[in-house]
Amino acid sequence: MKIQGNIIDVVNRKTFFGEITVENSTIVSVIPMEGQSDKYIMPGFVDAHVHIESSMLIPSEFARLAVLHGSVATVSDPHEIANVLGIDGVKFMIENGNKVPFKFYFGAPSCVPATTFESAGAVISVEGVEELLQMDEIHYLAEMMNYPGVLFKDKDVIAKLALARKYQKPIDGHAPGLRGEEARKYAAAGISTDHECFTYEEAEEKIGYGMKILIREGSAAKNFEALIDLLPLHPDKIMFCSDDKHPDDLILGHINQLVARALKKGCELFDVLHAACIAPVRHYNLQVGLLQSGDSADFIVVNDIENFEVHETYIDGVCVAKNKVSLIERIEVEPVNNFNIEKITAQDLSILATGKKVQVIEAIDGEIVTQSFTTETKTEEGFAISNTANDILKMAVINRYEKAPIALAFIKNFGFKSGAIASCVGHDSHNIIAVGTTDEEIAKAVNLIIENKGGISAVSTEKQMVLPLPVAGIMTNDDAYEVSKNYAEIDAFVKSELPCGLTAPFMTLSFMALLVIPQLKLSDKGLFDGKSFKFTSLFLD
């Protein structure tokens, strides 16, 4: 195969008209020529950190959408399915990903369960981490979110870090808000990246300690605006990632969106493409071509270098997307799951008011961190209830692996006047998480999840909707385009009918049980203070 166009040589930072020759999946020559073209040929994009599971799609379906936007590879942390199914879940992701022409590079989850303060479906021990790191398909130690364990030298944490060094595989970080001497110690433990920085100052400080910063723009967590000014100053220390991308967002764009936005911000073209293409390949030693002679034929053809509308995507010399149509075929899979609970009742959700003041989680649109505050407890016949006038709604987290007491709390900024939503995409342990105005509506939304052995649901006084997720309770094996459409419909229903003003209600909901991200969160075992890293009381005298 031969292809001509304006070649963007990111490695050597130059653009020229030329011809690329591909034989047997490899670029055998890149030859400058006289001529001109209205199309540009360049290396494909790499998402430097993503949880495929958060797209609600299995890897093969994720790939079908990602290639539309010029993505040829992902650095994928299978942490979510590992918390549900352990090593078997990681192997499921690898096996399914291997069935399609897309380059998935999986890591060994380092924190399963993420904490001891929640109920997960599996444990990956030090021995399990070593089993994974010995596999050729495992390319790095995935995000070490137990940063207190690093700082205080927890023996299992230190052992896992030592194993990554033993097998010469990079270590990913996860330490939101960590600054000063603690950040220095964290980096000194061999942790090479962080995708959780949410201020410019934090990211710049961590760069100074030798870490590389991943600028994240996902469906809920959006740090691009806060961090993009770092790129001109530290072009060799920046990568782009999505982290978590819901299907309706993935069908619209991927890393190409960050590239276009960075250029509109005035960033230099080759600095931007270094972050999007070269930096992750070199940092993780990926077998992804960079448009050089002898490389794998992984490249894209774009119509312009302003909006990066992708015309064609090639992986190993095979065209996998053309004219906004994915050429990757669907792969049928048998769902794997371990849902093990019965339906709940409204009575199961009642909260006896034991204090005049209640602590409230405050969700922040576009962030996975939360704030908290205390307010007067609204009661009815001695029980604490939602206060819709002040946008304070009841929240529940239900253990989905075995029958257990339901954890309950209150949350602000979902804005519902009626109805409820629920999901068993609840980071990190993926128990069922729900928010609603009444116990009856919350129970109805939760029971839709239980009936379908996984999914997201929404109910109003007159209507109910559910998107089943039968693969581990967090993904579906359905067609990616259909899933995107169905997700968009339920998302629109929540925003218009309940209504909710959050940009991504279900993605935001999923992070309200993420204990390793401060400030106040709810696990299936109770209300948790992420700053002091211990449980706290719902009521105050």
Does 334 fall in a domain? no
Domain limits for position 366: 346-540
Task: Answer yes or no: do 107 and 189 share one domain.
Answer: yes
Task: Answer yes or no: do 322 and 351 share one domain.
Answer: no
Task: Answer yes or no: do 391 and 527 share one domain.
Answer: yes
Task: Answer yes or no: do 378 and 317 share one domain.
Answer: no
Alpha-carbon distance of 377 to 387, in angstroms, equals 9
Alpha-carbon distance of 445 to 334, in angstroms, equals 26
CA 338 to each of CA 108, 120, 367: distance values in angstroms, whole numbers, following the listed order: 21, 11, 30
Classify 242 in phi/psi space as left (phi over 0), alpha (psi -120 to 50) or beta: alpha
Task: Answer yes or no: do 319 and 357 share one domain.
Answer: no
Instruction: Sort 248 into a burial class: Cβ within 10 Å, 0-12 / 13-18 / 19+.
Output: buried
Does 341 fall in a domain? no
* Cβ contact 249:47 at 8 Å: no
Alpha-carbon distance of 474 to 454, in angstroms, equals 6
Tokens of 472: 């581990």
Alpha-carbon distance of 62 to 55, in angstroms, equals 7
Residue-wise pLDDT for 11-59, tens only, equals 999 999 999 999 999 999 999 999 989 999 999 999 999 999 999 999 9
Does 331 fall in a domain? no
Tell me, what's the pLDDT at 339? 87
* Cβ contact 316:298 at 8 Å: yes
* Cβ contact 414:435 at 8 Å: yes
Q: Which helix (H) or strand (E) holds 508?
A: helix 505-510
Alpha-carbon distance of 53 to 246, in angstroms, equals 9
* Cβ contact 212:200 at 8 Å: no
Does 34 fall in a domain? yes
Q: What is the pTM of this model?
A: 0.93
Residue-wise pLDDT for 361-395, tens only, equals 999 998 888 999 999 999 999 999 999 999 999 99
Task: Answer yes or no: do 351 and 299 share one domain.
Answer: no
Tell me, what's the pLDDT at 2? 96
Alpha-carbon distance of 115 to 514, in angstroms, equals 10
Tell me, what's the pLDDT at 367? 85
**Residue pointed to by tokens 């030798």:** 210
Task: Answer yes or no: do 35 and 146 share one domain.
Answer: yes
Tokens of 277: 């293409």
Task: Answer yes or no: do 447 and 298 share one domain.
Answer: no
Q: List, in sequence order, the alpha helices (H) in 384-465.
A: 439-451
Going residue by residue through the chain, which has 541 residues, state the pLDDT in tens, using 9 for 90 and above.
999 999 999 999 999 999 999 999 999 999 999 998 999 999 999 999 999 999 999 999 999 999 999 999 999 999 999 999 999 999 999 999 999 999 999 999 999 998 889 999 999 999 999 999 999 999 999 999 988 899 999 999 999 999 999 999 999 999 999 999 999 999 999 999 999 998 999 999 999 999 999 999 988 788 999 999 999 999 999 999 999 998 999 999 999 999 999 999 999 999 999 999 999 999 999 999 999 999 999 999 999 888 888 999 999 999 999 999 999 999 999 888 888 899 999 999 999 999 999 999 999 998 888 999 999 999 999 999 999 999 999 999 999 999 999 999 999 999 999 999 999 999 889 999 999 999 999 999 999 999 999 999 999 999 999 999 999 999 999 999 999 999 999 999 999 999 999 999 998 999 999 998 889 999 999 999 988 889 999 998 7
**What's the CATH code of the domain at 81?**
3.20.20.140
Alpha-carbon distance of 90 to 52, in angstroms, equals 11
**Phi, psi for 340 (deg, rounded to 5):** -150, 40
Alpha-carbon distance of 367 to 198, in angstroms, equals 8
Q: Are strands 357-363 and 351-352 parallel, antiparallel or unpaired?
A: unpaired
Tell me, what's the pLDDT at 93? 97
Task: Answer yes or no: do 403 and 297 share one domain.
Answer: no
For the chain, helix, strand, coil in percent to 5 are 30, 30, 40
Tokens of 516: 């390793």
Say which DSSP state 289 is in.
Answer: -
Q: Are strands 392-398 and 432-436 parallel, antiparallel or unpaired?
A: antiparallel
* Cβ contact 283:212 at 8 Å: yes
Sheet holding 14-23, edge to edge: 26-32, 14-23, 2-9, 40-43, 299-302, 310-315, 318-322, 325-326
Tokens of 300: 């894209």
Domain-terminating residue out of 326, 361, 386: 326
User: Count of domains in the chain?
Assistant: 2
Tell me, what's the pLDDT at 86? 96
Alpha-carbon distance of 498 to 415, in angstroms, equals 8
Does 183 fall in a domain? yes
Domain-terminating residue out of 259, 292, 326: 326
Task: Answer yes or no: do 68 and 113 share one domain.
Answer: yes
Does 199 fall in a domain? yes
Alpha-carbon distance of 194 to 338, in angstroms, equals 32
Does 336 fall in a domain? no
Alpha-carbon distance of 101 to 312, in angstroms, equals 14
Task: Answer yes or no: do 192 and 318 share one domain.
Answer: yes
* Cβ contact 217:198 at 8 Å: no
Alpha-carbon distance of 436 to 262, in angstroms, equals 38
Instruction: Sort 195 into a burial class: Cβ within 10 Å, 0-12 / 13-18 / 19+.
Output: buried
Q: Which helix (H) or strand (E) holds 357?
A: strand 357-363
Say which DSSP state 428 is in.
Answer: T
Task: Answer yes or no: do 356 and 291 share one domain.
Answer: no
Alpha-carbon distance of 78 to 73, in angstroms, equals 15
Q: What spatial distance separates the first Cα and last Cα of the chain, rounded to whole Å?
A: 74
β-bridge mates for residue 436, sequence order: 394, 420
Does 337 fall in a domain? no
Alpha-carbon distance of 277 to 273, in angstroms, equals 6
Domain-terminating residue out of 293, 326, 359: 326
